[in-house]
Amino acid sequence: MLVRGWLRRSGSKWALIAANAAVLSGCAGNGEGLDRNGRPTDGGPAPLEATFESIQENVFTPICTQCHIGAQAPVGLRLDAESSYAMLVNTPSGEVPGLRRVQPGNPDSSYLIQKLQGTAAVGARMPLNNPALPQSTIDIIRQWIANGAQRAAPAGVAGKPTLRSVAPIDDEIVSAAPHEILLEASTELDLTRLTTDNISLIRSGDDGHFDDGNEVIVPVLNLDVRSTQPSVVAVLVAPELAVADRYRLVVRGTGAAPVMDLAGQILDGNRDGSAGDDYVMQFEVEGVR
């Protein structure tokens, strides 16, 4: 009753703010249900901030994944939470390969910003067939990029380093041959131990099997380190990948020079908690054989 009477007398926006604060303190006086900034934890996304996690929660997931998700995502760009960072930061644009989708420290040269602002040389403004993002939202994304396009370090990564394929994902069937295979580690890898010598790509030989002697080695041309902490690495492959077939990628956690992280832990390729296993993933390029 005291709050209502004071609101009637004041009529100002500050009175409303104070009243809301009073209600919150009455409902959660011990801090339960609030985040460290005093905001309710169950009231939807927190206000947009210039961090990757906030941009993912407020922009990429609710808006961009209406189109940019799954195997048929436009220009192969997936913006779901599992894929977006690896597919954006330091990754060449599919439409203008001379530009990075996100170039840390340089929002003006980042193709993502050009597409959001409608200044890109190719294609339409994003989000396609929807209202443009507010300039205030674009400005926050610009600030994140200008600040270095960082993301929060993984919380409590335990055990040995592991790998996962971001694109193509394991066992995916793709309609067009990828020119690279994008891998993300759980920690920062020792890049002196991650070389084309301990990565191999094999084509099944048109039968979908890898144990009958007719397999074909597809050359791995180079590795492009996109980011660290944890490491994101693109495996650049030769044009032979264009053949419609099933493929197997192997990153060695065994042998004389296994892949390891900066802490000296050897790759846990099969994610069983023990070091010293190869990472193996497969995918298929569909088409008429």
The low-confidence residues of the chain, meaning pLDDT below 70, are: 1-45, 154-158, 288-289
Confidence (pLDDT) at 12: 37
> According to DSSP H, which parts of 150-248 are helical?
none
Among 2.40.50.100, 2.60.40.1220, 2.60.40.2250, 3.40.50.300, what is the CATH number of 163-285?
2.60.40.1220
Query: Are 273 and 226 within 8 A, CB to CB?
Result: no
Token duo for residue 141: 């994304």
Average pLDDT, the chain: 84
Q: Nearest 5 degrees, angle CA 88-CA 92-CA 97?
A: 145
| Residues 44-96 pLDDT 10s | 668 999 999 999 999 999 999 999 999 889 999 999 999 999 999 999 998 99
What single DSSP character describes residue 283? E
Confidence (pLDDT) at 67: 95
Q: Nearest 5 degrees, angle CA 39-CA 40-CA 46?
A: 60
Confidence (pLDDT) at 155: 56
Confidence (pLDDT) at 147: 98
Confidence (pLDDT) at 238: 84
Q: Give the Cα separation of 279 and 253 in Å (integer).
A: 7
pTM of the model: 0.80
Confidence (pLDDT) at 45: 67
As annotated, the residues of the chain forming the CATH 2.60.40.1220 domain(s) are 163-285
